[in-house]
Amino acid sequence: MSETTHFGLAVVGSGSAAFATAIEARRKQVSVVMIEHATVGGTCVNVGCIPSKALLAAAAARHVSLDHRFPGIATTASPVDMAALVRGKDAIVDALRHEKYEELAGFYGFDILYGHARFVPGPMLEVNGERIEADHYVIATGASPWAPPITGLDEAGYLTSTTAMELDHVPSSLVVIGGNAVGLEQGQLFARLGSVVTIVETLPRIAPFEEPEVSEALTAIFSEEGITVRAGATVGKAVRENGAVVVSLDSGSGHEDLRAEAVLVATGRRPNTADIGLDTVGVAVGSRGEVVVDDELRTANPRIFAAGDVTGHPQFVYVAGKHGGIVADNAIDGAHRRIDYRTLPRVTFTSPAIASVGMTDDEANQQGFVCECRVLPLTQVPRGIVNRDTRGVAKIVAERESG
C-alpha cells in the first residue's frame, strides 16, 4: 500500500496561478505542496511572455536600425544569427525562472514535487507511486498550443508559438495561421528578423476582437513592413513539396496556394486536462477541455478549485495571478470572492502595440448603451510627430449622456 502524506493545500502545476495560490496559502500558515511534471514556471516565463518579449525586443532593435526615420542618423543591420539570439533568450528565461519561481518556493516554505499527478478517489493525488491527501486541491495545469484539424498539416510539419522560439535559423518565408495576439506578435517578429511573412485569418480581419479601426490600422502598418494579410480565408490543406510547405486557402476571392519554408500555427491554446483523473473525482471539463468552475473558481467537487488558463478564462498572466489569490481565500477562508472582468486590460505586443480596456463600441451597443465614440489618428498627436512614428489610432468609447 502506498504511503499517504497530508497537506493543507495541494497545487497541480507550477505557473503563475499555482505560485500565486501557494504564496497566499503560506501567508495563511497553511502547508502546501506543488506538483510539476515538467519545468517549473508554466507558460509565462518558459514559453510565453518572457521569451516572446525578449525576441520581440531584439527584432524591434533590428527594425529600428533599418528604418532611417531620423535625418542625419545612418544605421545598418547584419543578417540575424538566430541561434545566438535564442541562446540569449534562453539565458534570460533561465535566470528569471530561478529568481522568480524556484527561489520563491524556498522563501515561502513549500515543496515542489516533480512527477505526474493524477487524481484518485478520496479525493487524493497519486504522484510517483505515493499518495497525497489535502484539505483542498487546486488545478493549475495551464494550457498548450492547439492546432486545428487541417488536412495534411501533421504530415507537412508546422511550428507552434513554442517551437518557433527554438529555431536555429530565420525561415526565408513563413505562413502564420491565425491573426490574433500570438500570430500577430510572432508574424511581425519574424518579418523584422528577415522572413517573408503571410498571416492568414479565418475571420474578416486580423485582431478580430479589437475595434475595427485598430484592425484596419494594423493591416496598413503590416503592409508597410512587407507583411501580407489574408483575412476571411480558410486553410483547406497543407502538403510538403520539395522542401517547402504549400498551404491551400479558400476565400471569397477564390482559391490560392501559398508556398513557404515553414508554417506557424497560432490558432489558440487548449487547457491541459488530459490524463490527470478528473473524472474519478467528479470534476467536469468543457468542450475545449477546460475545467468547469463556478464564479468562485470551485469545481463540482467542493474540495477542488481551478485557476489560470486551465479554466478557459482570459489567458493573461495577471488573470492567473488574480485567480490564485481568489482561490486561496475561497478554499481556506470561505471568502466567496469572485472575479470581475469588466475592466480587464489586454495588450498585444505588436509594434505599435494594441492596448485596450473595457467594452468595445460593439459590445457597449449590444448592452444597450447609447455610445459616444471618438477616434484619434496618431498623426494628430505631437509625441508621435516628434518621434516620427504616427502609425495607429486611439479610440474612446463613452456613454453619451454621462461621458
Q: What is the pLDDT of residues 255-313, one digit of tens each?
A: 999 999 999 999 999 999 999 999 999 999 999 999 999 999 999 999 999 999 999 99
In terms of Cα–Cα distance, which of 279, 245, 250, 249 is closest to 262?
A: 245
The label of the residue with cell 500570430 reads 183
At 310 the pLDDT is 98
The whole-angstrom separation of Cα 294 and Cα 338 is 9
Residue 108 pLDDT class (50, 70, 90 cuts): very high
The whole-angstrom separation of Cα 270 and Cα 315 is 10
Q: Which of the 8 DSSP states describes residue 122? A: T
Cβ proximity of 349 and 57 under 8 Å = no
Q: Are strands 228-231 and 304-306 parallel, antiparallel or unpaired?
A: unpaired
Residue type at 29? Q
Angle at which helices 49-67 and 82-97 cross, to 10°:
140
Residue type at 209? F
| Beta-bridge partners for 394 | 376
Q: What is the pTM of this model?
A: 0.95
Question: Within 10 Å of residue 365's Cβ, how many Cβ atoms?
Answer: 14
Angle at 122 between CA 116 and CA 125, to 5 degrees: 15
Q: How many helices (H) and strands (E) does the chain have?
A: 11, 20
Residue 264 sits at φ, ψ, to 5 deg, of -110, 120
Q: What is the pLDDT of residues 208-263, one digit of tens each?
A: 999 999 999 999 999 999 999 999 999 999 999 999 999 999 998 899 999 999 99
The whole-angstrom separation of Cα 109 and Cα 156 is 47
At 1 the pLDDT is 37
Residue 334 pLDDT class (50, 70, 90 cuts): very high
- What radius of gyration, in Å, describes the C-alpha atoms of the chain? 23
389 burial (CB, 10 Å; 0-12 / 13-18 / 19+) is middle
Q: What is the pLDDT of residues 80-104, one digit of tens each?
A: 999 999 999 999 999 999 999 999 9
At 253 the pLDDT is 85
Residue 2 pLDDT class (50, 70, 90 cuts): low
Q: What is the pLDDT of residues 35-68, one digit of tens each?
A: 999 999 999 999 999 999 999 999 999 999 999 9
Question: Within 10 Å of residue 258's Cβ, how many Cβ atoms?
Answer: 20
The whole-angstrom separation of Cα 188 and Cα 178 is 13
Cβ proximity of 196 and 218 under 8 Å = no
Grid cell digits, residue 8: 493543507
Q: How far is CA 113 from CA 8, 35, 212, 323, in A?
A: 15, 5, 47, 22
Which secondary structure element, helix H or strand E, spans residue 116, and what is its range? none
The label of the residue with cell 489569490 reads 325
CA-based max dimension of the chain? 77
Cβ proximity of 311 and 291 under 8 Å = yes
At 3 the pLDDT is 80
Q: What is the pLDDT of residues 143-197, one digit of tens each?
A: 999 999 999 999 999 999 999 999 999 999 999 999 999 999 999 999 999 999 9
